[in-house]
Structure 1
Amino acid sequence: MSSMIRQWLKFLSKDDISSIVQINNLYKDEQHEEISKPEVKNHILVGDGGKVEIGDQTLTTKYPDGTIEYAFYRGEEVKTGVYTKLDKSLLLSEIGRYRDGRKHGIRWKRVAYHSWFLSSANSDYKDDIMRNSVFIYPDLSTALVGDFDENCMAFSDLEVAEIVGAVSNQAILIPSLRQCGMKIPCPLTDMSETVANQHCYRDPYEHRTVEVRESLIPEAGEGLFTTRSVMAGQLLAYFAGVKDKDKNGRQSDYAITLKDGQIIDIPTEIRTTYCATLGHKACHSFQPSAYYGYTTHPRFGEIRCVIALHNLEPGQEITTDYRYGIGKAPEWYINCLKEFLISKRGYSQEEAELYVTEIIAKAQTEKDKCINENICCRD
Structure 2
Amino acid sequence: MDRRSWIERRWQALAAVGNPAWMLGYIRARRRRLMMLEQELGSDASSYDASDDNSESSEGLMDEDSEPSSAEGAVSSTGSRGDHWEGEYTVHGDPVGPGRMMYADGGYMECCYDEHGRPEGAYRIVDPRGELRRSGEFWASAKRPGRVRVAFEDGGTVAAGADMGNAPHGRGTYSYPGGDVRVRGRWHHGTFVEGVSEGPTAASCGIKLRRGPGTPTALPADPLTPDPYEAWTVRVGASRIAGAGEGLFARRDVSAGELCALYSGMRCAQAEVDAREWDACENTLSLDAGQEGLSDGEDMDVDAPVMDVPSGGGRRAPRYCASLGHKANHSFLNNARYAPLFHPRHGAIKCVRAIKDIPAGQEITVRYDYDHGWGNWPRPNKPVSARDARVMRDIMRTVAAPEWYVELLRQWLCAGVPPALLDDVASDIPAAMGKRFPAELRGA
TM-score w.r.t. the length of structure 2 is 0.55
1:219 aligns with 2:262: no
After superposition, give the CA deviation of every residue in 1:113-163 in whole Å (9 maximum; x if it has no partner): 1111111136799xx872222211112121222233455x423x3212249
The list of structure 1 runs, each at least 4 consecutive aligned residues, that deviate by more than 4 angstroms after superposition, is 71-82, 98-104, 122-125, 188-192
Query: CA 1:96/1:191 → structure 2, altered by over 3 Å: closer, same or farther?
Result: farther
1:183 aligns with 2:226: no
Distance in 2 between the 1:124 and 1:332 partners?
A: 51
What does residue 45 of structure 1 align with? 77
Distance in 2 between the 1:287 and 1:130 partners?
A: 44
What does residue 285 of structure 2 align with? 256
1:60 aligns with 2:68: no
The alignment of Structure 1 onto Structure 2 pairs a total of residues equal to 288
Aligned CA-pair RMSD: 3.7
Please tell me whether the aligned partners of residues 109 and 117 of structure 1 are also in contact (alpha carbons under 8 angstroms).
yes
What does residue 288 of structure 1 align with? 334
Could you tell me which amino acid in structure 2 is paired with residue 227 of structure 1?
Answer: R
After superposition, give the CA deviation of every residue in 1:168-216 in whole Å (9 maximum; x if it has no partner): xxxxxxxxxxx93331244278475343x52111111111111111222
Please tell me whether the aligned partners of residues 129 and 147 of structure 1 are also in contact (alpha carbons under 8 angstroms).
no
Distance in 2 between the 1:130 and 1:112 partners?
A: 21
What does residue 97 of structure 1 align with? 137
What does residue 392 of structure 2 align with? none
What does residue 334 of structure 1 align with? 406
Greater shift, 286-295 or 227-236, is seen at: 227-236
Per-residue deviation, 1:307 = 1.7
Distance in 2 between the 1:233 and 1:82 partners?
A: 32
Structure number with the higher strand fraction is 1
Distance in 2 between the 1:194 and 1:112 partners?
A: 26
Q: Secondary structure at the match of 2:229?
A: helix
After superposition, give the CA deviation of every residue in 1:214-234 in whole Å (9 maximum; x if it has no partner): 222222221112222333322
Distance in 2 between the 1:277 and 1:113 partners?
A: 17
Distance in 2 between the 1:123 and 1:271 partners?
A: 40
TM alignment of 1:1-379, pairs within 5 A: 44-47=76-79, 50-54=83-87, 59-64=99-104, 66-71=106-111, 82-97=122-137, 105-121=146-162, 130-151=169-190, 153-155=191-193, 157-162=194-199, 180-187=205-212, 190=215, 193-195=218-220, 198-244=222-268, 246-247=272-273, 248-250=275-277, 251-259=280-288, 262-267=305-310, 268=312, 269=314, 270-271=316-317, 273-326=319-372, 327-343=399-415, 345=417
TM-score w.r.t. the length of structure 1 is 0.64
Distance in 1 between the 2:284 and 2:177 partners?
A: 25
Q: Secondary structure at the match of 2:192?
A: coil
- Structure with the greater alpha carbon radius of gyration: 2
Query: CA 1:256/1:52 → structure 2, altered by over 3 Å: closer, same or farther?
Result: same
After superposition, give the CA deviation of every residue in 1:265-285 in whole Å (9 maximum; x if it has no partner): 212414450111011111101
Larger relative contact order (C-alpha < 8 A, sep ≥ 6)? 1
Ranges in structure 1 where 5+ consecutive residues have no aligned partner: 1-40, 165-178, 353-379
Could you tell me which amino acid in structure 2 is paired with residue 313 of structure 1?
Answer: P
Per-residue deviation, 1:104 = 6.0
What does residue 375 of structure 1 align with? none
Distance in 2 between the 1:100 and 1:334 partners?
A: 61
Q: Percent identity?
A: 27
Per-residue deviation, 1:111 = 2.9
Distance in 1 between the 2:114 and 2:217 partners?
A: 50
